[in-house]
């Protein structure tokens, strides 16, 4: 599936993945420190106390050269490459599994038994690989090997490089090399803790480190700046995607008004989140997983290039339907009214490299912009939403072509309009396609008003509401209570597929029954099983993916790499010992795939508990 396979990237800028503007020339020092990193990871895993974890990381980072510490910081945040890069290794769990089996001289059964004990391929590698003397591997060299693997074409070439690397490592080093390759260290170390450790190691504040890391999207480069006392020099880098601000669910209108005094309310559109970077006429769009998606939406860059200033925008791309029942014909003959179409319609446009003219005509998209992070050289994320909203309004109004909205002011304020907003600017000639739209904003001061807005949003075909604190800054990558979401299904969960089974009847040859899990700290615990709900085409695609990403083949059932996120709805929740989580769902059904979410963004057991406790029946 295209969204799961990121393209290899050649933009890497040197051995440490540190961008040219913050790093003065590559420093290539190989030392035998992969072993030291692995030992530090063991100690980090052995404690649950955050302060101890950051202490161990800080001490380790200080004991290394800056170059080694920079690469280690990337690895310690569970990544093979800095966050901003799109590079991935593209080595499936199955290939890694085979390499480990081969190097260990073990058969499938022995490896499976070990996997059952550990539930983690890195730990399996540590157990089964032969002991060997000091490998002499340094973290910088491991990083270089990762670059080679990412750049190699085809599974055979990649597997050969992985084999070469793992043949050299000691079992303990292999444990962490494999964990980094699978993107999950499982030592209870979030990137935020690595940030805190950098702050401790170099005597700066965690906030300074976080800010620089957010701007650079590169914890290694951030470490360098911290070590050199230059954190303040970190600058916003256009065309490097930033983290997205996330929302917490609320179950009622009352709850939606309970966290802050002044709420801005917007429709919750059912499309895909996109961050637009616009600079000097060049435009790139990034998805929530920080993949570039510009090519899938060729109509948007042209429209965005007309912005009066360089900017970074946040919004939702939706399939757009022009409302031509009552076309508005201004002097400029622009028709700008319409509504978002269901996500299933937009889905046909996703993951395409080439978009046909027919697609462009039949499924036009619009970019509903609701936030601005940067404009005209100024970093805006620290400003309150009320100010950002004003700047966004002005910037879009200053765009080339402005058409006016026909709803009255009072209709607009109360949200009682059939339309979704005005076309901020687009191409006059293309009268039916509204490209860039300022997402309309409303106010609600009472639960009744909120309910009215919710009903109106649903009547327009949207999912529900977003309720945002007008005084809040933009906090990338954080799910706080400054943004709230009120959805149609009062309770849905985003879950990770952990095992799959062949279906019955017409689904006999395809993997259509999915067991799924939520997070309990670092562990995924199963909570339910659902029979499809996806379209036949999706099931076919998923079947191919699961076959390729099987960790353990149990015949009728396959344990798969925990990467696929689904949104599941259910009628209610029960306590049950059927699943590891201790809960079970009644009538679970798959609402849709969530290709825009990575596994670590799935819901947690706390959220399950909240839903369970909030149930009325
Ligand atoms: P969820 O995907 O259910 O966690 O809900 C959050 C998502 O809603 C965001 O990531 C956006 O993709 C989407 N969304 C739709 N409309 C808005 C809006 N007006 N403001 C913010 N996010 C929105």
In angstroms, what CA-CA distances link 83 with 21, 148, 232? 17, 18, 20
Estimate to the nearest angstrom the gap between the alpha carbon of 561 and the chain centroid.
17
What are 467-508's pLDDT values in tens digits?
999 999 999 877 889 999 998 655 789 999 999 998 877 777
Q: What is the pLDDT of residue 83?
A: 86
- Distance between Cα 246 and ligand 1 center (Å): 8
Q: What is the pLDDT of residue 291?
A: 87
- Distance between Cα 458 and ligand 1 center (Å): 15
Residue nearest to atom 6 of ligand 1 (CA): 247
In angstroms, what CA-CA distances link 47 with 188, 366, 380? 9, 49, 38
What's the CA gap between 294 and 406, in Å, rounded? 31
Looking from the CA of residue 272, the nearest atom of ligand 1 is 12
DSSP string computed for 546-599: HHHTEEEE-SSEEEE-TT-EEEEE-SEEEE-SSSTTSEEEES-EEEEE-TTS-G
Report, in angstroms and rounded to the nearest whole number, the Rg of the chain calculated over CA atoms: 25
Mapped onto helix, strand or coil, the DSSP state of residue 340 is strand
Q: Is the CB of 466 under 6 A from ligand 1?
A: yes
What are 572-583's pLDDT values in tens digits?
788 888 888 999
Q: Is the CB of 316 under 6 A from ligand 1?
A: yes
What positions carry a catalytic annotation? 268
Q: Is the CB of 270 under 6 A from ligand 1?
A: no
Among left, alpha and beta (phi > 0; psi -120 to 50; other), residue 521 is: left
Q: What is the pLDDT of residue 415?
A: 53
Q: Is the CB of 60 under 6 A from ligand 1?
A: no
Q: Is the CB of 485 under 6 A from ligand 1?
A: yes
Burial (CB count within 10 angstroms: exposed 0-12, middle 13-18, buried 19+), residue 576: middle
In angstroms, what CA-CA distances link 135 with 167, 449, 536? 9, 66, 49
First-to-last alpha carbon distance for the chain, in angstroms, is 40
Domain boundaries, the chain: 4-232, 248-487, 491-615
- Distance between Cα 463 and ligand 1 center (Å): 9
Q: What is the pLDDT of residue 412?
A: 47
User: Does the global pTM surpass 0.75?
Assistant: no
Q: What is the pLDDT of residue 243?
A: 87
Q: Is the dihedral of CA 147, 148, 153, 159 positive or negative?
A: negative
Q: What is the pLDDT of residue 403?
A: 37
What is 4-232's CATH number?
Answer: 1.10.3260.10
Q: CA 28, 31, 35, 41: dihedral to nearest 10 degrees?
A: -50
The CATH fold assigned to 248-487 is: D-amino Acid Aminotransferase; Chain A, domain 1 (3.30.470)
- Distance between Cα 64 and ligand 1 center (Å): 42
CATH of 491-615, one of 3.90.79.10, 3.30.70.1140, 2.40.50.140, 3.40.50.300: 2.40.50.140
| pLDDT beneath 50: ranges in the chain | 1-30, 325-336, 400-412, 418, 422-433, 617
């Amino acid at each position: 599936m295209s969204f799961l396979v990121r393209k290899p990237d050649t933009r890497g800028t040197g051995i440490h993945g540190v961008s040219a503007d913050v790093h003065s020339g590559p420093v290539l020092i190989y030392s035998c420190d992969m072993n030291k990193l692995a030992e530090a990871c063991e100690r980090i895993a052995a404690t649950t106390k955050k302060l101890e974890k950051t202490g161990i990381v800080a001490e380790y980072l200080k004991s290394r050269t800056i170059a080694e510490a920079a690469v280690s910081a990337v690895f310690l945040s569970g990544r093979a490459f800095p966050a901003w890069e799109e590079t991935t290794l593209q080595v499936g769990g199955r290939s890694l599994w085979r390499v480990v089996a081969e190097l260990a001289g073990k058969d499938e059964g022995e490896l499976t038994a070990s996997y059952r004990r550990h539930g983690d391929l890195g730990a399996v590698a540590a157990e089964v690989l032969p002991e060997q003397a000091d490998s002499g591997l340094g973290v910088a060299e491991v990083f270089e090997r990762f670059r080679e693997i990412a750049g190699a074409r085809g599974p055979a070439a990649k597997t050969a490089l992985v084999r070469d690397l793992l043949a050299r490592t000691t079992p303990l080093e292999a444990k962490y090399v494999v964990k980094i390759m699978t993107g999950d260290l499982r030592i209870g170390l979030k990137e935020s803790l690595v940030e805190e450790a950098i702050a401790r190691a170099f005597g700066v504040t965690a906030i300074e480190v976080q800010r620089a890391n957010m701007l650079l999207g590169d914890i290694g480069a951030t470490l360098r700046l911290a070590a050199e006392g230059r954190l303040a020099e970190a600058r916003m880098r256009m065309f490097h995607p930033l983290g997205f601000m996330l929302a917490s669910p609320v179950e009622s209108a009352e709850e939606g008004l309970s966290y802050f005094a002044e709420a801005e309310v917007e429709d919750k559109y059912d499309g895909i989140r996109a961050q637009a970077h616009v600079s000097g006429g060049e435009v790139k769009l990034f998805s929530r997983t920080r993949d570039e998606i510009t090519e899938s939406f060729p109509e948007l860059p042209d429209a965005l290039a007309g912005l009066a200033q360089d900017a970074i925008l946040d919004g939702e791309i939706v399939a757009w339907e022009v409302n031509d029942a009552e076309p508005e014909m201004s002097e400029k003959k622009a028709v700008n009214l319409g509504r978002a179409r269901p996500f299933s319609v937009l889905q046909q446009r996703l993951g395409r490299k080439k978009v046909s003219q027919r697609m462009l005509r039949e499924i036009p998209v619009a970019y509903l912009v609701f936030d601005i992070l940067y404009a005209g050289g100024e970093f805006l994320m620290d400003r309150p939403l009320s100010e950002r909203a004003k700047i966004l309004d002005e910037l879009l109004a200053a765009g080339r072509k402005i058409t006016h909205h026909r709803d009255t002011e009072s209709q607009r304020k109360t949200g009682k309009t059939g339309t979704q907003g005005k076309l901020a600017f687009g191409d006059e000639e293309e009268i039916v396609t509204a490209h860039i739209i300022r997402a309309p904003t409303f106010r609600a001061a009472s639960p009744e008003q909120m309910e009215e807005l919710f009903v109106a949003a649903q009547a327009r075909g949207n999912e529900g509401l977003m309720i945002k604190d007008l005084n809040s800054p933009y906090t990338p990558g954080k799910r706080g209570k400054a943004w709230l979401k009120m959805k149609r299904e009062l309770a849905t969960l985003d879950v990770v597929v952990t095992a799959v089974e062949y279906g019955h009847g017409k689904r006999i040859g395809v993997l259509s029954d999915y067991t799924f899990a939520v997070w309990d700290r670092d562990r995924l615990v199963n909570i339910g099983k659902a029979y499809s709900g996806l379209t036949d085409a999706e099931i076919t695609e998923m079947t191919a993916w699961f076959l390729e990403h099987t960790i353990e083949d149990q015949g009728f059932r396959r344990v798969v790499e925990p990467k696929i996120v689904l949104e599941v709805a259910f009628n209610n929740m029960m306590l049950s010992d059927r699943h590891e989580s201790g809960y079970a769902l009644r009538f679970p059904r798959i609402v849709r795939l969530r290709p825009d979410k990575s596994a670590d963004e799935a819901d947690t057991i706390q959220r399950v508990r909240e839903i369970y406790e909030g149930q009325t029946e």
